A and B are shown apart, each in its own frame.
Chain A
């Protein structure tokens, strides 16, 4: 049957893969987008992602409800975000350094606490079958879309709207663009940033739960392979715009699905090379979009590495 559509399987599988693989990118990048719009960088989201994956899996296994797992992962993310937010609010603390520390801390803690959950199988998140009309199994596979992805799809335009049209969005942008102006207007800077980092952590944790509860769908120590960090870079590529974060996540997801889908039609040469596609893409995009002579358009004014 798989020969029936031949090479058409590749774009179809890339599409299906893009939807599947992009979900954690989407959640982490939207979370990081919120945090960075407030003027702080949280590199700890990689650690948050892994902690979210572990705790989501553990709660799903012990309670039997994957959605409770997602909530638990988000809650753990809030705690990680809170830690980052509060530590960075101290004098002379650098957000990048704290982020790296929390990244290592999160990964280490997840490995330590997650040991008992490597073997057992936890209940997985459901998916919605949009391919019921088709007889071709590849089409049906590609159109099996996870519910969490749909939440992310709705979240991106909602965030864009929030940034522009709500009190909270305007304050968040002011704090991130010009803390001096925010102070002059009487808006509280540190609480805004702490809350933004917590919300970012919440989304990062949920992104992690997707890894262990849907795709790949199990908890092990090599689950993330740097997806959290890639998503942070993706925010820069997406110019701090939630909708662009969504498209960029799809692009990265598609690139990640290239290797497996080529393998499925029998192209096995250079499998590992194709698997490296997202990382090559990250490098290429950074080279093409960054310049020493220009500052990035859309970059929140308070983002800096020298604070």
Chain B
């Protein structure tokens, strides 16, 4: 604890770090220097080694080679406790708060020396005094599971400050926040760094945040150091080139054709979440053919439940869905008749069977139809394989053949395989939820292009996304979902970002 008893930001220097997982060289001779009291961005695509690097620093992994120095002194960090004792703290992309505990319990739990018996009256008083010195507040006796994403993120950061960390590593700290919340949190962190109390290393892929809030940037590509410098001198273009190297990214797909008749009508839909509380509260929305309607919103406002209702994965408790003028019950027959397609989020979990082969996964919607089956039960393998080979080729799915289990594919390729199944035949209505989450630049451009082409062919597309940039790029019309309802609607051309952000935050 002697390290943490002192105060002020720390300097971190990593030299020549390498780490190999099996045959994959995740980190290859990477060096990075984070100056005292600075905000340093670590930029790179998925799989570039950013997380591996910081996890080596935090002691989750042991680097195969390389050195870590804090304030110029070489240190050995074998586990997270060592890192904590040195004053290093990390805020993870996925919340590490315990959901069924209160904020106060979570804060006290994080302390290095938890007393054998906790005196809650004393602890609560102390926490209250600590919160008074902080730029933002969270309710101490609230259960974490009931907090909004932004509050949880604040709580994570507060936890680190409560523990008097002197170097904070943040893994995509704004991925679940509204633009307004993101600015507030990052502004506050930058203020703390500038006051000299803290050094910050932040993993991100948002150029806007790098340019606005950081002093220095280090870019990784495929495990190697691709460049570093001052973001405002480099500019967004140079940073993007460092990130993606020589790959070419196709330009955004052009928008063509006009919107037609109403295809999908969602009329007063209500649905419950997994604990039986209302999540979608009387949502009404129509989507026309040849139109992309983008639903923006912070995660946890009922989007997941809405998509599940539309995809037939959850029952609704009130209202109705009308497709092509017919009441739609999300059965297999109805989906086939109306040419419905769905790209739910986390496709490996919710739209594919991981241990089944790519070809079987691609045939899930049609395997009992001719020509893949006779009499609805006698299956023919050869046409299934031929159809899969065609789709794999057309959608450039990288796999060890159609017989490989789909879980062995990378995230982007699972997404492409599911996309191929859903968009491979005629589509009249497409439901897509966070279709590009966690994918690299090339895959993102590819998948967005496919969605745009589907729209251009005259399909009605409902796009649910937490990525506002994605919605702004693709949608013809934008609605904001908050608290299970549509709270704002605007045409995409000339949309007011501030108004969207305000409504996302529930104002």
Contacts and interface: CB of A to CB of B under 8 A. Distances in A.
Contact of B272 (A181, A293, A297): A293
A177 B100 contact: yes
Contacts of B98: 173-174, 177-178, 181
A213 to B, nearest CB: 33
B110 A173 contact: no
Interface string A149-188: 0000000000000000111101101100110110111100
A174 B101 contact: yes
Given A181-B97, A294-B272, A186 B79 contact: yes
B116 interface: yes
A301 B120 contact: no
B362 interface: no
Nearest to A162: B117
Nearest to A185: B110
Interface residues of B, number: 29
B114 interface: yes
A165 B115 CA distance: 10
A295 interface: yes
A165 B117 contact: yes
A297 B117 CA distance: 26
A298 interface: yes
Interface in B156-212: none
Interface string B54-90: 0000000000000000000000000111001000001
A295 B92 contact: no
B384 to A, nearest CB: 28
B125 interface: no
Contacts of B81: 186
Nearest to A300: B100
A185 B91 CA distance: 11
B355 to A, nearest CB: 12
A170 B114 contact: yes
A184 B101 contact: no
Contacts of B84: 186
A184 B275 contact: no
Contacts of A174: 98, 101, 109
A301 B114 contact: no
B108 interface: yes
Nearest to B90: A184
A293 B79 contact: no
A305 to B, nearest CB: 16
Contacts of A298: 100
Secondary structure at the B interface, as helix, strand, loop or mixed, is loop
A168 B115 CA distance: 9
A297 B275 CA distance: 7
Contacts of A300: 100
Contact of A177 (B79, B92, B99): B99
Contact of B96 (A171, A173, A181, A301): A181
Contact of A294 (B94, B100, B109, B274): B274
Contacts of B115: 167
Secondary structure at the A interface, as helix, strand, loop or mixed, is helix
A289 B251 CA distance: 54
Given A185-B109, A186-B79, A177 B101 contact: yes
B100 A166 contact: no
A43 B418 CA distance: 39
Contact of A170 (B96, B97, B105): B105
Interface in B275-327: 275-276, 314-315
A200 to B, nearest CB: 20
Contacts of A181: 96-98
A165 B124 CA distance: 13
Nearest to A299: B100
Contacts of A165: 117-118, 120
Interface in A31-85: none
Contacts of B90: 184
Q: Choose among A167, A180, A184, A295 the residue with the greatest number of B CB atoms under 10 Å from its CB.
A: A184
B331 to A, nearest CB: 17
A165 B90 CA distance: 26
A201 B186 CA distance: 49
Contacts of A183: 80
B101 A294 contact: no
Given A166-B118, A167-B116, A170-B105, A180 B94 contact: yes
A300 B100 CA distance: 8
A170 B275 CA distance: 23
B41 to A, nearest CB: 22
Given A180-B94, A293-B276, A171 B80 contact: no
A178 B80 contact: no
Contacts of B314: 293
Contacts of A297: 275
A291 B276 CA distance: 10
A301 to B, nearest CB: 7
Interface in A284-307: 291, 293-295, 297-298, 300-301
Given A181-B98, A294-B272, A166 B315 contact: no
- Shortest 8 CB-CB distances between A and B: which pairs? A186-B81, A181-B96, A294-B276, A167-B114, A184-B96, A295-B274, A177-B98, A186-B80
Given A170-B109, A173-B98, A293-B314, 4 more contacts: A178-B96, A180-B94, A186-B79, A294-B272
Interface of A: 165-168, 170-171, 173-174, 177-178, 180-181, 183-186, 291, 293-295, 297-298, 300-301
